[in-house]
């Protein structure tokens, strides 16, 4: 294996300068970010985009543009099922096994965040886009321009924003540029402050209690909820900051505007379906909708509830699959035994399966007379912040199933190189001799 990139494995950054905050007895230091982190992330995403283009050409030629006469000959099973044989039989297995081969034999990446940049979107987005191509659910705007437009859809990890009136990509204007820069800086500052608060305490700032099996009270222990909220916030900000920052670079290179990654899921969500379907990780939500939910509804004849559950289950398996990447991290910082990461398989699956049943339960309740009236009453009389808190209470009690693995694998520590940090150094020395 050839180490093409700086590992950025052990955080040995020293403060650039120190300062004392008025009214606080203590000296603090400001630690700068590693510019190399962002450069290497962009390089890795560029490599992934090149691979995406190669897959796009194959999918367009052998799946999207299959001859019309063959498409009509439904009596010929070999001809009719050819796109499915190519997609499910060849392309999808390669997209599943390829990332593992890359991180195992091709490149030596000890930084988990780099692994996500290089391989994370392949099973999460690219594979699902192949599935939607097989089932004819590609957004029409990316088909009207031929291969060039189709490649644009596949190459961008963040989907290119399309004008609904013209069906054309939205140019990256000066106004949009300033909006995106302000958004990135706002998220960047929030992430810096949150890292400064959480990282010195190993991401646990409130008292915790051990969660006993089937003990609901432990799940809602206030300390566990507080820690889960801060970790969910850090996860959201990291994804948003990384996507916005790298999306800005992509926009500068292409002159096109990228879709927003998320939309204030932890502060503005009004229902579980609003949280998962419209606000949290919108690119993946769209990919699951078109790559799992709609094919099951359109070609499988499945019910809405069953298709929604399967979409969440698939998301759970994809996140379990990510843990296999993380096992290739060579060591854990500050661990004298240099023990490798050992994933606890099953937790990611349980987390997403639980949220699937929450979403299905919401839909079932809405379809009842009393449930519909209850939701209508809440929309009219319950303040939105309270409704958002109720939504979060369906996620936060079990959020540790998701975030604990990313803490153990050092994902958060590895991503911290991309952000400055304010750290406590010491108390102020007494002026008295």
**Is residue 40 included in any domain, yes or no?**
yes
Please provide residue 422's backbone torsions phi and psi, each rounded to the nearest 5 degrees. -100, 120
**Is residue 431 included in any domain, yes or no?**
no
- Ramachandran category for residue 219: left, alpha or beta (phi over 0 → left; psi -120 to 50 → alpha): alpha
Is the CB of residue 371 less than 8 Å from the CB of residue 358? no
Is the CB of residue 142 less than 8 Å from the CB of residue 152? yes
Structural domain including 38 reads 17-426
What pLDDT shows up at residue 70? 52
**Is residue 396 included in any domain, yes or no?**
yes
**Is residue 42 included in any domain, yes or no?**
yes
From the centroid of its chain, how far is CA 233? 13
**Is residue 4 included in any domain, yes or no?**
no
Residue found under tokens 């305490």:
201
Rounded to whole angstroms, the Cα distance separating 92 from 165 reads 34
- Burial label for 3, CB within 10 Å (0-12, 13-18, 19+), is exposed
Low-confidence ranges of the chain (pLDDT < 70): 1-7, 9, 23-24, 66-80, 212-214, 330-339, 428-433
The order of strands in the sheet holding 421-426 is: 17-20, 27-31, 421-426
What pLDDT shows up at residue 331? 55
Structure tokens at 28: 């603090």
Q: In the chain, how many domains are there?
A: 1
Structure tokens at 390: 């109720």
Rounded to whole angstroms, the Cα distance separating 289 from 135 reads 12
Q: Do strands 17-20 and 27-31 pair parallel, antiparallel, or not at all (unpaired)?
A: antiparallel
Please provide residue 424's backbone torsions phi and psi, each rounded to the nearest 5 degrees. -75, 135
Q: Give the other-Cβ count within 10 Å of 386's Cβ.
A: 10
From the centroid of its chain, how far is CA 95? 18
DSSP annotation of 400: H
Structure tokens at 63: 């799946």
Please tell me the chain's helix, strand, coil percentages from 3-state DSSP, rounded to the nearest 5. Answer: 65, 5, 30
**Is residue 9 included in any domain, yes or no?**
no
What pLDDT shows up at residue 248? 85
**Is residue 378 included in any domain, yes or no?**
yes
Nearest to 197, CA basis, from 144, 251, 241, 233: 233
DSSP string, 118-135: HHTHIIIIIHHHHHHHHT
Rounded to whole angstroms, the Cα distance separating 46 from 73 reads 40
Structure tokens at 254: 């292409």
Rounded to whole angstroms, the Cα distance separating 69 from 84 reads 17
- C-alpha Rg value of the chain to the nearest Å: 23
CA distances, 104 to each of 99, 125, 126, 316 (Å): 8, 21, 20, 23
**Helix boundaries (H) for 327-421:** 347-366, 369-381, 384-392, 400-408, 411-415
What pLDDT shows up at residue 69? 44
In sequence order, the 6+-apart residues with CB closer than 8 A to the CB of 101 are: none
In sequence order, the 6+-apart residues with CB closer than 8 A to the CB of 360 are: 305, 308, 309
Rounded to whole angstroms, the Cα distance separating 419 from 409 reads 19
**Is residue 155 included in any domain, yes or no?**
yes
């Amino acid at each position: 294996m050839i180490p093409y990139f700086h590992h950025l494995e052990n955080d040995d950054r020293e403060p650039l300068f120190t300062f004392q905050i008025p009214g606080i007895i203590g000296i603090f230091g400001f630690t700068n970010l590693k510019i190399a982190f962002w450069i290497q992330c962009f390089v890795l995403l560029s490599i992934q985009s090149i691979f995406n283009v190669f897959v796009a050409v194959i999918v367009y030629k052998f799946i999207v543009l299959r001859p019309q006469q063959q498409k009509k000959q439904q009596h010929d099973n070999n001809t009719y099922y050819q796109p499915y044989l190519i997609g499910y039989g060849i392309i999808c297995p390669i997209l599943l096994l390829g990332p593992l081969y890359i991180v195992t034999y091709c490149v030596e990446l000890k930084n988990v965040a780099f692994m996500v940049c290089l391989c994370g979107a392949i099973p999460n987005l690219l594979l699902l886009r192949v599935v939607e191509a097989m089932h004819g659910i590609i957004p029409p705007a990316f088909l009207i321009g031929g291969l060039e437009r189709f490649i644009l859809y596949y190459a961008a990890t963040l989907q290119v924003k399309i004008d609904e009136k013209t069906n054309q990509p939205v140019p990256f204007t000066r106004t949009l540029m300033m909006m995106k820069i302000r958004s990135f800086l706002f998220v960047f500052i929030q992430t810096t402050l949150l890292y400064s608060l959480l990282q010195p305490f190993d991401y646990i700032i409130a008292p915790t209690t051990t969660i006993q099996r089937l003990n609901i009270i432990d799940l809602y222990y206030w300390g566990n909820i507080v820690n889960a909220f801060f970790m969910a916030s850090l996860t959201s900000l990291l994804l948003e900051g990384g996507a916005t920052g790298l999306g800005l670079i992509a926009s500068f290179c292409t002159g096109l505007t990228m879709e927003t990654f998320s939309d204030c899921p932890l502060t503005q969500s009004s229902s579980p379906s609003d949280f998962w379907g419209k606000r949290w990780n919108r690119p993946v939500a769209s990919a699951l909708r078109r790559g799992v939910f709609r094919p099951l509804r359109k070609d499988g004849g499945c019910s809405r509830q069953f298709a929604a559950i399967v979409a969440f289950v698939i998301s759970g398996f994809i996140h379990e699959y990510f843990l296999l990447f993380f096992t290739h991290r060579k060591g854990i910082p500050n661990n004298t035994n240099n023990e490798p990461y050992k994933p606890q398989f099953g937790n990611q699956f349980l987390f997403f399966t639980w949220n699937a049943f929450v979403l299905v339960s919401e839909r079932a309740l809405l379809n009842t007379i009393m449930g519909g009236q209850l939701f209508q009453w809440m929309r009219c009389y319950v303040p939105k912040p309270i409704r958002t808190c109720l939504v979060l209470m369906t996620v936060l009690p079990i959020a540790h199933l998701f975030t604990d693995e990313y803490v153990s694998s050092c994902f958060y520590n590895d991503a911290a190189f991309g952000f400055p940090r304010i750290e406590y150094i010491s108390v102020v020395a007494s002026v008295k001799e």
